[in-house]
Amino acid sequence: MGNPDAGGRGDAVRLESVRKVYGHAGNGVVALVGVTIGFQQGSFTAVMGPSGSGKTTLLQVAAGLVRPTSGSVVVDGMELTGRSETAMAKLRRERIGFVFQAFNLLPALTVEQNVTLPLRLAGRRPSRAQVAQVIGRVGLADRRGYRPGALSGGQQQRVAIARALVTRPAVIFADEPTGALDSHSAREVLGLLRESVQAVGQTVVMVTHDPMAASYADRVVFLADGQVVGQLPHPTADAVAERMLRLGAWAERPGQPARSVEGGAD
């Protein structure tokens, strides 16, 4: 792991005064407005907000998929600003895991081949024991030779989680990971993410619109109009739903000041 003191102490990911504008000056769209936030190592954070609040942009900037217009992004002790695209790609392969709503599995590959793909792309020889352990952890030991088309949606998302875990990344970013699943499969997938945090100290940052999904996290961070407007530790589904209703009313009032989650701003 990198030096945790590179940003906030113990943060796997840290954003400082991050601003992101799409388009040109004068007619650009401001997606993030001076966001400062840290995601502690070994924590599970859900990011929520109304449509257009900037939550997906926050995830993409934090994961090094999109460069901020200004500000600092540190992942696993490494400052991303100014790094070449080659260096960024290497960092994403080795230190960041991704889980998306659409699974993004290769249909011609087996479960095991899909899981080991990140290692092969990084030029690393997969350890049979490590791969077997990860596939077993997501409950697919008896499906390792199957192709995605023979699996349910929930099983495919478990393959995607195993693929994200196999490189032992500093952080896993999950973008609406349960959006395409029924409630039973969603709970299984969320339980796996929760277990990865508790059992092996994985860091997970998840964008979701679902209060039930957010209740699996250690805290929920709320965005509106590209700004962090509050957080909720130890969330329950009911508390998250209530906060989202309040946030909808907040978002209708223009000119609210940007805030940081430092000190538990709400």
| Closest C-alpha to 193, from 57, 207, 95 | 207
pLDDT at 5 over 70: no
Higher-pLDDT residue of 263 and 195 is 195
pLDDT digits (tens, 9 = 90+) for 143-196: 999 999 999 999 999 999 999 999 889 999 999 999 889 999 999 999 999 999
pLDDT tens digits for range 84-126: 999 998 888 889 999 998 989 999 999 999 999 988 888 888 8
Distance of CA 159 to the CA centre of its chain: 16
DSSP element (H, E) containing 95:
helix 85-95
The model's pTM is 0.86
- Of 16, 49, 34, 15, residue with least CA distance to 230: 49
Q: How confident is the model at residue 60 (pLDDT cuts 50, 70, 90)?
A: very high
Give domain status of residue 259, yes or no. Answer: no
The alpha carbon of residue 219 and the mean position of all alpha carbons in its chain are separated, in whole angstroms, by 13
The tens digit of pLDDT for each residue in 68-89 reads 999 999 999 999 988 999 999 8
Number of domains making up the chain? 1
Is residue 69 assigned to a domain? yes
The parent domain of residue 246 ranges over 4-251
> Of 28-32, 44-48, 141-145, 261-265, which gets the smallest average pLDDT?
261-265
Please report the pLDDT score of residue 263 as a whole number: 33
Alpha-carbon gap, residue 239 to 169, rounded angstroms = 31
Q: Is residue 256 part of a domain?
A: no
Residue 26, pLDDT score = 72
* Contact present, 134 and 141 (Cβ < 8 Å): no
Domain assignment present for 27? yes
261 domain-assigned: no
Is 37 contained in some domain?
yes
Q: Given a cut of 90, is residue 246 above it in pLDDT?
A: no
Percent of the chain surpassing pLDDT 90: 69
Whether 179 is in a domain gets the answer yes
CA within 13 Å, CB half, 81 = 13
Q: What is the reported pLDDT for 9?
A: 54
What's the pLDDT band for 254 if we cut at 50, 70, 90? very low
Q: Residue 203: is its pLDDT beyond 90?
A: yes
CATH number at residue 99: 3.40.50.300
Q: Name the pLDDT band for 258 (thresholds 50, 70, 90).
A: very low
Please state, rounded to an integer, the average pLDDT across all residues of the chain: 87
**Would 61 be classed as within a structural domain?**
yes
pLDDT bracket for residue 38 (50, 70, 90): very high
Residue 23 is predicted with a pLDDT of: 87
Instruction: Quote the pLDDT of residue 262.
Output: 37
**For 223-238, how does the pLDDT look when each residue is reduced to its tens digit (9 = 90+)?**
999 999 999 999 999 9
